[in-house]
Structure 1
Amino acid sequence: MPNLEIDEIDRKIIAALQSDGKITVNELAETIGLSASPCARRVRLLEQAGIIKGYAAIIDQKKVGLPISAFASIKMERQREDALERFSKAVARWPEVVDCYLMTGQRDYLLRIVVKDLEAYEQFLADKLTRLDGVASIETSFALKQVKRSEVLPIT
């Protein structure tokens, strides 16, 4: 589907859904000042355009036994397309990696890895990350405290 030009009503819909993804269409329509049918149609168009990619519960990682967030900076031996593609495909299969970014600067990738303890991180390194061809170096930092986390984009 081609890019959808979003207007002020779409922005209100997006803001409301980012705030509460479980809101009903009727509640959403009332919140943004639109009737239910056009509101539902707009939500469907936003979904079809890929602007709304899905809906998910936000889970407290500590309360489910995964208190450790490790940030691994990866330097590749070479930045060849096939090596980058191989790395990306491998990382996509690993549930411990919750975020992965191809970066500019000194490092090629930045990963956020969520695990239950340091031993689990060490196991992840030994069994997965260090076994990937093309990885030249790995630098890891551990988060001491989460100051802010948000899935809400500043759409204005």
Structure 2
Amino acid sequence: MSRQLDEIDRKILRALVEDGRLSNTDLARKVGLSPSPCWQRVRRMEEEGVIAGYTAVLDHEALGLDDTVMIEVSLDRHNATALESFGKAMAELPDVLEVHMMAGEYDYFVKIAANGTKGVEQFLREHLFGVDGLRNSRSTFSLRCLKRVTSCVPQEV
């Protein structure tokens, strides 16, 4: 980020995180600006990459994907090719919600949405276990999500 965000920028970001479909007029009203300066601030933050995009948040349970599973993955090799290959393989799978390269006991943290234990088994057998260089994995099921955010707005520093 090329500059510090002021409090109005942070108000705009919080409002958009809460409801990305706000019209510029409603957003401006919510943050205490007139529409033109509000639009200019949003545009600037989009151009600077502070606002990376807009998306719909889907209800996985309503789509029949009742289970969220966290999978810790260790690879048997740690060269650039193996790491890139694993990341690319996971990024192409629609069931994969997030992939994080980790420091610590395991190499990757993979979060998937699945339709029950059969869906998890299918993901493991058809996708994860076939990835070249996989040493081992450990899966844990989320019982309930207590907080879900797609982004956070930094507090004033």
The TM-score range, normalised by the shorter chain, is over 0.9
- Provide the C-alpha distance between the structure 2 equivalents of 1:89 and 1:25, rounded to a whole number of angstroms: 37
What are the within-5 Å matches in structure 2 for residues 55-134 of structure 1?
55-134=54-133
Q: Which consecutive segments of 4 or more residues in structure 1 shift more than 4 A?
A: none
Q: What SS is found at the alignment partner of 1:150? A: coil
Q: What is the total number of aligned residue pairs between the two structures? A: 155
Q: Give 5+ residue unaligned stretches, structure 2.
A: none
Q: What SS is found at the alignment partner of 1:62? A: coil
Q: Quick one: percent identity of the two aligned structures?
A: 37
- What is the aligned partner in structure 2 of residue 151 from structure 1? 150
Q: What SS is found at the alignment partner of 2:106? A: coil
Deviates more, 1:59-68 or 1:143-152: 143-152
Q: What SS is found at the alignment partner of 2:88? A: helix
- Provide the C-alpha distance between the structure 2 equivalents of 1:6 and 1:134, rounded to a whole number of angstroms: 43
- Provide the C-alpha distance between the structure 1 equivalents of 2:7 and 2:23, rounded to a whole number of angstroms: 20
- What is the aligned partner in structure 2 of residue 138 from structure 1? 137
Conserved? CA contact 2:13–2:153, under 8 Å: no
- Provide the C-alpha distance between the structure 2 equivalents of 1:145 and 1:31, rounded to a whole number of angstroms: 32
Q: What SS is found at the alignment partner of 2:36? A: helix
Q: Shift of residue 134 of structure 1?
A: 1.1
Conserved? CA contact 1:15–1:155, under 8 Å: no
Q: CA RMSD in A?
A: 1.4
- What is the aligned partner in structure 1 of residue 33 from structure 2? 34
Q: Shift of residue 152 of structure 1?
A: 4.2
Q: Shift of residue 27 of structure 1?
A: 1.1
- Provide the C-alpha distance between the structure 1 equivalents of 2:18 and 2:119, rounded to a whole number of angstroms: 33
